[in-house]
């Protein structure tokens, strides 16, 4: 059994229009949302052993906000290929994962499409199709190795958006 925690980066800042997209930081709401997501993940024992993260600043800062709440220290792997990746690239990156529980942090629109194609039955949450900032899907796969994961084979375990988290 393998478990994927699929998270879109938290809310980023557009304060400085001269900042390149890759270098946009989180805004205050995004920082708070990332911390809330960490608490939510830890409270449900959704704890990754490995984190596959886009190398954009906002995805790295999302993980930095989540990490303090997690027991242990998951292995963080920055993956430039995940920056604005589509579903096929995200799947290719996932298939090389090593841990039983993996977190992937990426961007829309690719992450929304990846999530939709990954699970056999989407969660009933109306926000799932939009996959807003901080949206997090937890899905299980009945496979021995990540290389065996296929689209449509995931079982939805949980889904949350930060504004739904009660702290």
pLDDT in tens, 20-79: 999 999 999 999 999 999 999 999 999 999 999 999 999 999 999 999 999 988 999 999
pLDDT at 142 over 70: yes
Spatial contact of 39 and 167, defined as CB atoms under 8 Å apart: yes
Q: In angstroms, rounded to a whole number, what is the distance separating the alpha carbons of residues 42 and 146? A: 23
Tokens of 122: 């989407």
The C-alpha angle with vertex 69 and arms to 64 and 74, in degrees rounded to 5, equals 65
Q: Classify residue 154 by its DSSP letter.
A: B
pLDDT in tens, 75-128: 999 999 999 999 999 999 999 999 999 999 999 999 999 999 999 999 999 999
Spatial contact of 158 and 4, defined as CB atoms under 8 Å apart: no
pLDDT at 166 over 90: no
Q: If we measure between CA atoms, which residue out of 74, 100, 71, 90 comes closest to residue 8?
A: 90
Domains and CATH numbers, the chain: 1-11+22-118 (3.40.50.1240)
CA distances from 101 to 17, 36, 158, 163 (A): 37, 20, 14, 24
pLDDT of 72 reads: 85
Helices and strands counted in the chain (H then E): 4, 6
Q: In angstroms, rounded to a whole number, what is the distance separating the alpha carbons of residues 47 and 100? A: 10
pLDDT band, residue 167 (cuts 50/70/90)? low
pLDDT band, residue 135 (cuts 50/70/90)? very high
């Amino acid at each position: 059994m393998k478990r994927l925690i699929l998270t879109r980066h938290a809310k980023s800042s557009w304060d400085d229009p001269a900042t390149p997209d890759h270098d946009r930081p989180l805004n205050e709401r995004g920082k708070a949302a990332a911390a809330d997501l960490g608490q939510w993940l830890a409270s449900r024992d959704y704890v990754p052993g490995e984190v596959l993260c886009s190398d954009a600043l906002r995805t790295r800062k999302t993980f930095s906000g989540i990490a303090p709440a997690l027991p242990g220290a998951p292995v963080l792997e920055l993956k430039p290929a995940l920056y604005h990746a589509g579903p096929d690239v995200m799947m290719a990156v996932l298939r090389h994962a090593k841990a039983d529980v993996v977190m992937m942090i990426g961007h829309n629109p690719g992450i929304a499409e990846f999530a939709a194609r990954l699970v056999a039955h989407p969660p009933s949450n109306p926000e799932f199709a939009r996959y807003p900032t901080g949206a997090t899907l937890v899905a299980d796969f009945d496979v021995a190795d990540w290389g065996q994961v296929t689209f449509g084979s995931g079982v939805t375990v949980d889904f949350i958006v930060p504004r739904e988290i009660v702290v």
